Structure 1
Amino acid sequence: MAEKMPAIMKTKPAYGAELVEVDVPKPGPGEVLIRVLATSICGTDLHIYEWNEWAQSRIKPPQIMGHEVAGEVVEVGPGVDDLQVGDYISVETHIVCGKCYACKHNRYHVCQNTKIFGVDMDGVFATYAVVPAKNAWKNPKDMKPEYAALQEPLGNAVDTVLAGPIAGRSTLITGAGP
């Protein structure tokens, strides 16, 4: 495996992003290294690229962008026993702490300390990325990577719809998102 890889990085606190060469990351305990097969561009990535007020208050360059991804496991870190090299995965992009009140009560979606790939840490707009094994979802081998990368935003949309009483009601869906 190469020691360096290309990545899309927010290199400075200004409009834009750059294609740079960085070291291939190494998985630590509880993590896997994936070869990125597909990513999708989220509205969050556009905010970061445009360097709007939200991005300025949240992003700490330099940092690899991107968080919606499908990939193949190429290396497994210590303590990972439910994934192996060759597994085809998508990734839940919200990394929860497991320790706050919400997490202790199985309300991970409102974790007080949630971190997000490409926002609070290096993201997945690169050849390889390290992700927590607990955030990996195994995909059927016949699922196209470009579909697998959209599972996370699709999950957000489904969660939003299921947050209220929707059965038997008319709804309006706007925008170009999933």
Structure 2
Amino acid sequence: MKTKVLLIKADEEPMKAVENPMPNQIYKNPHIMIEERTLGTLDPDKIRIQMLYVGVCGSDIHILKSNPETGYICSSVPVEIPEEGRIIGHEGVGLVLDVGSNVKEIEKGMYVTLESILVCNNCDVCKRGDFNQCRNAKLIGLEVDGVMGNVVDVNSNLAHDVTGYIKSEDDLIAMACVEPMGVAYDACENAKIKAGDVVVIFGGGPIGIYTAMLSKLVFGASQVHVVEPVEFRRNLLREWTKYVYDSLDSLKKNLKEANVIIETSGDLNNVNKVFNIIDANGKVVLLARSGEPLFIDAVDHMITNNISIVGSRGHLCGAFDRILRLHASNRIKLDSIVTSVVNGLEDLKKVLESKDIVKDNCKVVVSLKDINN
């Protein structure tokens, strides 16, 4: 079977004299292209899916951005880009066309949404149930080929049957957004948000908005404050909170104390600049990857007040199931952050190459319903 895919290519040139270089010290001059590929015999443990909608994640955008002086990619997210290129994309919903001989739970004709972390199930971390931190994890669309194609093969254990949730086209689009909502859900759990907490979020992109939505509607925060420099995204945020700011200075003028800080923007200086307003037993949760170091000046404040700083990765350990139930009961609005639906890979390529994708959008979703597109 022939399929068209959107992939990233880059020059592999590790920085000299850097021990254990990160991706932003290995790959240079990234660019995207569309190719036609042939799908071979279906692996016994995989399923073949006609992708219907695929979401564009910040990581897809960031690995395409390069340092203008050095040419190296700006993102430090784990990525492996082989010479033939890496098919990007890890958020989506599709129709199952075929299943491998070992697949039991997924059947042809089902609609499925997909997890984005392939875990080994065998390492010590997996065996204690911490799948998001699997020692041998591979990220779909970054370290192994993703789902930005008309028809793709994926491991069956990534798939969740959402056939019963599909009543309309909007539901299909919503199902393409479960994965990023799962990332936000795990961040809120790692923050241990309690009823009445004051939450500060840096960054009003898809993860930031979902985090604001969940903090208020599901986890019971009394106030959610969000700093986001892009006006378009600030306007979206006002559906979920009245405390929206264009700068850190504006936040500090209006807030004297917070229980939880969630950093989704990648600018880690934000954390240091507000650290003194974190209340006793407060939490700082870091999501966004920029490769930049974190500095904390107020270490005495941290020790005295028992403040915790944690990283948060992934969406496993039950987040998908909870999100689907919250969606079904109308507690959350998965598709409310979708601001553009583009048709086909060619139009998506143009959008990804545009410098205004963040300025004019929150979540971009590509429709791939016509497999000949």
Q: Which residue of 1 aligns with 2:263?
A: none
CA distance in 1, matches of 2:185, 2:78: 28
C-alpha displacement of 1:128: 1.0
Q: Which residue of 2 aligns with 1:39?
A: 54
C-alpha displacement of 1:164: 2.5
Q: Given the two structures, how large is their TM-score scaled by the length of structure 1?
A: 0.90
The question of whether the paired residues in 2 share the 8 Å contact of 1:26 and 1:33 is answered with no
Q: Which residue of 2 aligns with 1:141?
A: 166
Q: Do residues 28 (structure 1) and 43 (structure 2) align?
A: yes
Task: Identify the structure with bigger relative contact order (alpha carbons < 8 Å, sequence gap 6+).
Answer: 1
Q: 1:176 aligns with which of 205, 217, 227?
A: 205
Deviations 1:106-148 (A, max 9, x none): 1111101111111111111100111111111111222622211
> What SS does the corresponding residue of 1:80 show, helix, strand or coil?
coil
Q: Given the two structures, how large is their TM-score scaled by the length of structure 2?
A: 0.45
The question of whether the paired residues in 2 share the 8 Å contact of 1:25 and 1:33 is answered with no
Structure 2 segments unaligned to the other structure (5+ residues): 12-28, 67-72, 211-373
AA aligned to 2:59 is T
Q: 1:58 aligns with which of 55, 61, 79?
A: 79
C-alpha displacement of 1:103: 0.6
CA distance in 2, matches of 1:120, 1:15: 15
In percent, how many aligned pairs have the same letter?
Answer: 27
**Which 4+ runs in 1 deviate beyond 4 A?**
none
Q: Do residues 162 (structure 1) and 176 (structure 2) align?
A: no
CA distance in 2, matches of 1:56, 1:87: 32
CA distance in 1, matches of 2:65, 2:80: 12
Deviations 1:24-67 (A, max 9, x none): 35431221011001011111111222251446973323111111
> What SS does the corresponding residue of 1:18 show, helix, strand or coil?
strand
CA distance in 2, matches of 1:138, 1:39: 16
CA distance in 1, matches of 2:172, 2:92: 8
> Do the aligned partners of residues 83 and 141 (structure 1) sit closer, same or farther apart at CA in structure 2, a change above 3 Å counting?
same
The alignment covers a number of residue pairs equal to: 176
Radius of gyration: which is bigger? 2
Structure 1 segments unaligned to the other structure (5+ residues): none
Q: Which residue of 2 aligns with 1:10?
A: 8
Q: Which residue of 1 aligns with 2:247?
A: none
Q: For structure 1, which segment, 21-30 or 59-68, has the greater mean C-alpha deviation from structure 2 after superposition?
A: 21-30
Q: Which residue of 1 aligns with 2:131?
A: 108
> Do the aligned partners of residues 26 and 11 (structure 1) sit closer, same or farther apart at CA in structure 2, a change above 3 Å counting?
farther
